[in-house]
Structure 1
Amino acid sequence: MHYRGRFAPSPTGELHAGSLVAALGSWLCARRAGGRWLVRVDDLDPPREVPGSARSILEALREHGLDADEPVLYQSQRETAYQAAFDRLRADGHVFACWCSRNDLAPHGGLHRDGRCITPPLDDRPPAWRLRVPDRTMRFEDRLQGPCRQALREEVGDVVIRRADDCWSYHLACVVDDAFQGVTEVVRGCDLLDSTPRQILLQELLDLPTPSYLHLPLALRADGGKLSKSTRDLPLDRADPLPALRQALRFLGIERPRGDSVSALLHHAVDDFDPQRIPRRYSAPWPTAYGVA
């Protein structure tokens, strides 16, 4: 199968340096492999969405030379697919209704490990739905971080896949859409590394293919915090994308980016890029001169 990669931002703010690193890393891996690069908008959580954010992110990607090879997929339009996956999990006995609150789970370290709800059903509110997570250690090989393992029940517990407000979980929607789009490799930040084992479990339960994974180091603020839309880090300078692009390329292991235009810079970057030269460290500071206050 030909290489197919993707970038999947959530519309909760402007594109920032950390998002640019993830987008550029996935774009470079796709271009280096001679494959296709897709963009998916993860707009499944309306309370967290910022009006106009999706449009702004897509415009910023284009201004930084990162054009998707196929039409953008919006998760808000994929309800039928998620419902079908949920119905299969439910028919196979892999999910259960749960009324447990955070306070109910606090004595258990905030995790649910029983495979059944420990709170009596409540008539005044609908339940969430959790995946019964087996007592199993999941192992996978990350293409940059190397061998990874996670004791699912001990470290994760029974995962919510549909919230009480009827919002689908990131994990269910992600695996359904990666399969639908034919994604062969997921390139994303290390903040999602520990999400991968539960997503591989869902892929197995739903008979979906498992892509390869490559988790990039995170771009951090000077104080060590993760760059994030939710913490309102300043967006990139869309009027002058070259400085941030050059810095992102250095961050991804290209020591001397070449080119005086966006197109030239990215053209040379494809030739100069080697995924094995990406630093394996989980985090690194992002200079304030390139888009972060």
Structure 2
Amino acid sequence: MSYVTRFAPSPTGPLHLGHAYSAILAHDRALENGGRFLLRIEDIDRDRSKPEWEQQIYDDLEWLGLSWETPVMRQSDRLPEYRNALKSLWERDLLYPCTCTRRDIIDAASAPQEGVQYGPDGIIYPGTCSVKTMMPGSMTDLPEGVALRLRMAMAAGIAGTPRVGMGRVLSFTETGDGETGLIEKSTDQIALEVGDIVLSRKDFLGSYHLSVMLDDAAQGVTHVVRGLDLFDATQIHVLLQNLLGLPTPEYHHHRLIRDENGKRLAKRDDAKAIRKFREEGASPADIRAMVGL
């Protein structure tokens, strides 16, 4: 079996030490297993993605001593694939249009009879638009200019494998720095803990959950290496893989690199940017030491 890892940054700001750790770890694990290391540019959000940040990604990774296969996959080139996947789910009545604003969702979820609940995507959507009457013809035409949400309860009834005492179950293998081994989740539990997630946004086609899952499958990624902050999102990706008949890779969710106050690094934290360390005379070996490699 081939061993394929990837690093998939967004060109929306400078790479920081956390990115360096994730990229080096994925790169080194591929080399150690005689595999392949791929780079993917997640530029689906065209408003925030900038060419200069994309070039900085290449420059920083090359300086770190990493190499990858070309051509590099870019999400902005894959919109037809995202649309096809959405259309497939739409035709199975697994999606519905949502016109709620962020304020609408907060207000509905905060109603006394509801109570605010949080999942991997933040506030769990209360299902406001799921009960609205469909417009004539909407079941054949994928709507434009609105968000598209997954009917999670319906998906939970068809995804996974039946298991006595657990209903239907989804599973994946985890080798990271948190919970490890075979991870199993009841689809009913996923429906309760995740809710009707957005799979396409009104201002751009697709979403992180949809695109990352489709892109990993298209690139033949067998081992996903990423931060522990995305562990809870993995159940969503495995469910979507199951619904669309795609393979589930092995996952390795690694520890997060934090600042001196224990705060998770963010792109706005320019003081921790790889570029800053380069300008101050640090070496690639210094970066590896800083992140504990």
TM range (shorter): 0.7 to 0.9
Q: Distance in 2 between matches of 1:180 and 1:131?
A: 22
Change in Cα spacing, 1:196 to 1:233, as seen in structure 2 (3 Å) is farther
Name the counterpart of 2:72.
Answer: 72
Using a 3 Å threshold, how does the CA distance of structure 1 residues 156 and 230 change in structure 2: closer, same or farther?
A: farther
Paired amino acid for 1:127: V
SS at match of 1:52: helix
Task: Let me know the Cα RMSD of the aligned residues.
Answer: 2.3
Cα 1:43–1:63 shift into 2, 3 Å: same
Q: Deviations over 1:177-209 (max 9, x none)?
A: 111110001001111111111011110111111
User: 2 CA distance for matches of 1:127 and 1:21?
Assistant: 37
Counterpart-to-counterpart distance in 2, 1:94 and 1:121: 13
Which TM-score applies when normalising by structure 2? 0.78
- Checking the alignment, whether the CA contact within 8 Å between 1:115 and 1:132 is kept in structure 2 is no
* C-alpha contact 2:40 2:72 (8 A) present in aligned 1: yes
* Residue 204, structure 1, aligned to residue 264, structure 2: no
Identity of counterpart residues, as a percentage?
36
Aligned equivalent of 2:287, options 237, 241, 244? 244
Residues 149 and 194 from structure 1, CA distance in 2 versus in 1: closer, same or farther, beyond 3 angstroms?
farther
Does the CA contact (< 8 Å) of 1:24 and 1:66 recur in 2? yes
Give runs of aligned pairs for residues 137-148 of structure 1, distance below 5 A: 138-144=170-176, 145=178, 146-147=180-181, 148=183
Structure 1 residue 90, shift from structure 2 partner: 0.9
Letter in 1 for 2:72: V
Which structure 2 residue ranges, 5 or more long, are not aligned? 110-115, 117-122, 136-143, 157-167
Residues 39-58 of structure 1: CA deviation (Å, up to 9, x unaligned):
00000112222440011011
Cα deviation for residue 89 of structure 1 reads 1.0
Contact 2:149–2:197, Cα closer than 8 Å, also in 1: yes
Deviation at 1:29, TM superposition (A): 1.2
**Residue aligned with 1:176, SS:** helix
Q: Which of 126, 130, 152 lines up with 1:117 in the alignment? A: 130
Name the SS for the 1:96 alignment partner: strand
Gapped regions of structure 1 (runs ≥ 5)? 253-293
**Structure 1 equivalent of residue 96 of structure 2:** 96
178-187 or 167-176, larger mean C-alpha shift = 167-176
Residues 55-66 of structure 1 aligned to structure 2 (within 5 Å): 55-66=55-66
Q: Report how far residue 139 of structure 1 moved.
A: 4.2
Matching residue of 1:280: none
Q: Offset at 1:12? A: 1.3
Q: Provide the TM-score with structure 1 as the length reference.
A: 0.78
